[in-house]
Amino acid sequence: MNHVSVLITALAGLAAAIAGATLPARSRVGVAVLLTWVSSSAALVAAVSVLRSGHDIVIHTAAILPLTGVSLTLTPLGAVFVLTIVVVAMASTLYWLGYASHGLSTRSASCALPLFVTSMILVPFAASVATFLVLWELMALTSLVLVLTDQSRREVARSAGQWYAVMTHVGASAILLAFVLLSAHAGGQTFAQIEQHAHHLSGALRGTIFVLALLGFASKAGAVPLHVWLPKAHAEAPGPASALMSGAMVNLGIYGIVLVGNVLLGGGPLWWWLLVSALGVLSALYGALYAATTSDLKRLLAYSTADNMGLVLIALGASGMFAASGSRTTAAIAMVAALLLMFNHSLFKGALFLAAGAVQMVTGTRELDRLGGLLKRMPVTGVVFLIGALSVAALPPLNGFVGEWLLLQSLLHALPSANTLVVITVAVAVAALALTGGLTVAAFVKAMGIGFLGRPRSDEASDAHEVPATMQLGAGLLALSCLALGLVPMLILPSLELGARSAQRVGVPSPVHGWISLHLFGLHGILAPSLLAGGLLAALVATVLVRRVSHRRSRPWPALAPVEPWGSGRRTQTVRMQYTSTSFAEPLQRVFDDVIRPARDLDVSPAAESHYYVERIAYRTSNDDVIERVFYQPLIAAVRRWGRFARKLQNGSVHRYLAYGFLALVVVLVVLA
Amino acid sequence: MNGFTHLLTSALVALVQLVLIVVGGPLLLGVMRKVRSRLEGRVGAPIYQPLLDLRKLFTKQRMRPRESSWLFGTGPLVLVATVVCVSTISPLATTRPPLGQSTDFFAVIFALLLGSVVLALAALDTGTAFAGMGSSRSMTIGALAEPALLVAILAMAIPARTSNLPALVRAGLNHPALIASPSRILALASFLVVILAESGRLPVDNPSTHLELTMIHEAMVLEYSGPDLGLIILGESMRLAFLLGLLVNLFVPWGVAERPGALFFILGVGALAAKVLVTGVAIAVFEVFTAKMRLFRLPELLAGGFVLALLGAVTAVVAR
Amino acid sequence: MTLRVLLTTVLHPRKASEDLGPATNVDVELQRSLHGSLQVRHVDAGSCNGCEMEVQSAFAPVYDAERFGVRLVASPRHADALLVTGPVTKNMSDPLRKTYEALPEPRLVVTLGDCAKDCGVFKGGYGVQGPVSDVVPVDVHIPGCPPHPHAIVEALRGFTGR
């Protein structure tokens, strides 16, 4: 039964891709979506059965891939990731039905999207190095095609595609190297064999493998400083694709780290997980800061993805450090927190990106400074974005809060610890968590407030209308799941615990449990999200009644009068007098000026008659990514210089090429002798 | 029968705590204004004046900006609802409030943050420049105050091995030496800085300023009238009273009702009122002698609060 | 500031307010609807600032209007009454009208000083449009050039009845 569902997953996905590539335009997207749903449902069935029974699904065939064959195994850990990806995929493909009219119905896109979804779903199934790498590469290539959908019309999309292509392959090379080292020394390329022999490897070798794998997978997850592709690619990709990339693909980076660090190498010394935490802290702070100061809606969401992945890395690192220093309970709780943060992120980031895609489709722009007043014109999309924004900000009664609370509890209960490194990491992690939380709140109040509230800042925004029903449904499903998980986290916690235990080997039974209130195993920490939500609702109803009662006496004036906003009695209050995204973020940017170092350009043109009269002032400010400017641009410049130098060696003269060949032969002979 | 009486007692406790905060918030505001007036050489409005103001406001006309959405009217509602909800479940007059086992300190803080966020969004919905300015400044201060707050909670939670609020208060009562420990005192200082920042008191924000460009919180509510304004003023004063109530119970817990019984509860209510009154008067006196800080000097103040909290957390770990 | 001075100021504050006795002309209906609380928004429609100085004195320690439940507010949306000083100049007529429209019902207009009633010494000036009653409906007028702070406080007390 389980084998059949895995087979259906693969075949239906492939069929969807073929349908997308071959069918005529009218039926292309519909059939592709249908087949993708079939594929996702089959994967869902497989994942749920693994999580219910606790047994793995194993498939091995020598066909399809020459030399190595294909090896698929679904462990509970993999099942958790499959579950995450399937949920986002189903919502995004449903959304795609409505979005298709907006340029995402070309043959290449309709072939690439289902293939992207299928390859992402199958990555956690992979049980051998070859299978893993093939699926990984397939995932990268198909997402690259999706990022480049708009490249013929926009130069920025092409550049984003280039950055993405290079960075994902640099990451893939690191992963390849790590896997090659592993399989060469562990005597086999299936994960089962590697797990068995991994402890024979020397500490230095294990360390090198872990660092390489960490760099490769962290780059995919969008961890700073390997994140530079993320704001570009996620912003340029069309709606459903960016939701899939941010909501599903980055999770596979986390999966890779857990796979190599915990499963294959069997946990490691403290310094591995210290490195993971350090990356996490850096990503969280950097991502939140840039999200708070950018004015492009999708770039903001992309930086927020880097921020949230940083939080997941902090949780992973904390879990590993606690396990290495002997506290099993907090290690288990931290691992569950990591998986919960990841799952929550997929849900709310998927919802946010789908809403942003809807806004972009209707208004044609991503610039917050050209939006506004959209909550009245796009009620459903606005509410979806509001729910997503409150979830990212980790506010009760939504799901983001539960994940954040769990992480805070695991950090709190690890202290006091005998290990000073753990103590320092925990303190830094809590401070980083708090600061990112605050910055994220500011960023999303800005995104929601400037983008959806107030008065429309452009004609496109004032002409906005609601999107088709399938798009509303897709985005709405994810938003509702955020609410559901916020009220009853226990819906997903048992599965996450199974996944955590299958990753960590040692753990405690049910580290987090309880339907009405969450209890921690053996520690004093209780949270009742549904009761808190109930209390808030009751209080809200009471307050509404109080306000209504105060107005029950009829009066000669209108009860709720719509009036001109008060602007100190000015003659006209234009729309441009509202706060913009840049002005909203200005105090924060000023505080962090030394970190961001925006490029500012002021151009004053005096009038012809006199130098003292100003005719025109042009002010330009841009928040380029600091790490890109400081590390990557010089690196790219150096590579270009080297390339130019190397081109001198290739001057077209056959005599010189023959001389090169002769020289190489002489060197080889000398070395062999 | 036992279950029913338990339910009834819990409901009564919740109601009393709620009424205490709902009435006590405006009264605290009145007391602070009175102290200020007296120190300025004036008689000042009576202590119950804010209650009269609120009563009048609830009978006035509601107005909303023409192009605002449903979120505009929701801001004041959520602000008040969050404070109402947390006042009923927090250890204010007793260490065993209703649903007390699940009253986590982080949950309370994040619930209050929900109120601030929805108010900031509602302000942006007006589409005016001042409201945007108020939102922006308010969110910046919130973002910078949060590290200090969470690390201060960490510093208090480490010795008690939990972040459950009633447990933290009980820990202070059971181990008096804990109250005088350096980590608690540092956490107290940090918590005080955060309360001043979050409630918009001097030196962070002048609550009675008329100059829009100096406003932080006031700027967000310039557009509200009638019951909406009443709810906002009520919500803000309730929030201040609630936070001061938490502050006094965490750092000077004696007087709080530890055992069940009407007498202990009444004593607890009285002790809370007295302690919050004294703290409010102290803050009002401090405000009279303090000037408002420049907006761009505030990050330094909040960073100072953060450093205090961090020191508190480190001492808490080392002390064990 | 020494500790001794600080403690003395806090524990024994001097009271400069004059005792003004009970309120004299109270509008009973208004008093009932305002519940003893009046928020006032001041608008300078073109005055010489003489009346503003008297308003400042009225809220200062000696006359202290705040003890009768009166408070100055920043936004007209928060106010019950508009306190207008000066003749209405051409530039200020629109803003004055907009400010009046921004007040929630029930609303009042109190004019302060002779200029607000009939333009006073500025009658016929090129920048002057007319008295306040030409622009917004006036409820109460406080005469004087400038009015004594005592008169201002008595007029405002009439609304709160305190």
Q: Which candidate from B52, B224, B229 shows the least CB-CB separation from C69? A: B52
The phi, psi pair for C39, rounded to 5°, reads -105, 130
Q: Is the separation of the CB atoms in A241 and A356 below 8 Å?
A: no
| pLDDT for res B320 | 63
Confidence of residue C25 (pLDDT cuts 50, 70, 90): low
- For B286, counting Cβ atoms within 10 Å of its Cβ (0-12 exposed, 13-18 middle, 19+ buried), the class is middle
What's the pLDDT band for C1 if we cut at 50, 70, 90?
low
Minimal CA separation from C65 to chain B, in Å: 8
How many of the other CB atoms lie within 10 Å of CB of C44?
A: 17
Question: Which residues fall within 8 angstroms of residue B303, CB to CB, at 6 or more apart?
Answer: B144
Please say if the pLDDT value at position A154 is more than 90: no
pLDDT value at position B242?
Answer: 97
Q: How far is CA A261 from CA A210, A251, A497, in A?
A: 6, 15, 18
pLDDT, tens digit (0-9, with 9 covering 90-100), for A133-142: 999 999 999 9
Strands, E assignment, A44-91: 57-61, 70-74
Per-residue model confidence (pLDDT) at position C108: 92
Nearest chain A residue (CA) to B147: A434
* Cα three-residue angle C15-C20-C24, rounded to 5 degrees: 155
CA dist B314 → A271, A424, A432, A671, B98 (Å): 22, 9, 16, 60, 33
User: Would an 8 Å CB–CB cutoff place B107 in contact with chain A?
Assistant: yes
Say how far apart CA B118 and CA B71 lie, in whole Å.
8
Buried residues in A273-295 as b, exposed as e (16+ CB within 10 A): bbbbbbbbbbbbbbbbbbbbbbb
Q: Is the pLDDT of residue A665 over 90?
A: yes
pLDDT, tens digit, 9 for 90 and up, residues C125-161: 999 999 999 999 999 999 999 999 999 999 998 888 8
What letter would DSSP give residue C44? E
Helix axes A379-392, B105-124, angle to 10 degrees: 140
Local structure of residue B195 (DSSP, 8 states): H
pLDDT confidence bin for A552, thresholds 50/70/90: low
Evaluate if residue A509 carries a pLDDT over 90: no
Minimal-distance CA residue of chain B relative to A416: B317
Average of per-residue pLDDT across A445-467: 93
**CA A193 to mean position of chain CA atoms:** 31
Which residue is closest to B130 within chain C, CA to CA? C75
**% of chain A surpassing 70 pLDDT:** 99
What pLDDT is stored for residue A517 in this prediction?
A: 86
Q: Does B225 touch chain A (CB under 8 A)?
A: no
Distance from CA of B273 to the nearest CA of A (A): 23
Q: Do C77 and B43 lie within an 8 Å CB cutoff?
A: no
* Mean per-residue pLDDT, A99-121: 88
- Using CB atoms, which residue from B38, B49, B222 is nearest to C75? B222
> What number is the ipTM of this complex?
0.96
Whether A292 shows a pLDDT value over 90: the answer reads: yes
Residues 6+ apart with CB under 8 A from A321: A270, A273, A274, A277, A419, A421, A422, A425
Distance of CA A117 to the CA centre of its chain: 15
Query: Quick check: A477 and B153 in contact, CB under 8 A?
Result: no
pLDDT digits (tens, 9 = 90+) for C93-117: 999 999 999 999 889 999 999 999 9
pLDDT tens, B162-219?
A: 999 999 999 999 998 888 899 999 999 999 999 999 999 989 999 888 888 889 999 9
Average pLDDT over chain A reads 90
The predicted pLDDT at position A200 comes to 83
Using a pLDDT cut of 90, give the percent of chain A over it: 62
Give pLDDT < 50 ranges for chain B: none
pLDDT score for C32: 78
Going along chain C from its start, the domains and CATH numbers come out as 25-160 (3.40.50.12280)
- The span from the CA of C121 to the CA of C114, in Å, is 9
More confident residue, A197 or A257: A257
User: Are B61 and A539 in contact (CB < 8 Å)?
Assistant: no
Number of helices and strands (H, E) in chain B?
Answer: 11, 1
- Is A553's pLDDT higher than 80? no
Task: Give residues 556 to 615 of A whose Cβ lies within 8 Å of C.
Answer: 556-557, 563-564, 566, 568-571
What are chain C's partners, defined as 3 or more CB pairs within 8 angstroms? A, B
Using alpha carbons, select from B69, B118, B63, B84 the residue that is nearest to residue B15: B84
Of B43, B56, B289, nearest to C34 by CB-CB distance is B56
Nearest CA in chain A to B311: A427
Determine which of C105, C107, C135 to mutate to test the interface with A (most A C-beta atoms within 10 Å): C105
Interchain proximity A570–C95, CB inside 8 Å = yes
Residues in contact with A13: Cβ distance below 8 Å, sequence separation at least 6, in sequence order? A35, A36, A39, A114, A115, A117, A118, A119, A121, A122
Range name among A246-250, A539-543, A619-623, B280-284 with the lowest pLDDT average = A619-623
Whether residue B209 lies within 8 A of chain A, CB to CB, comes out as no
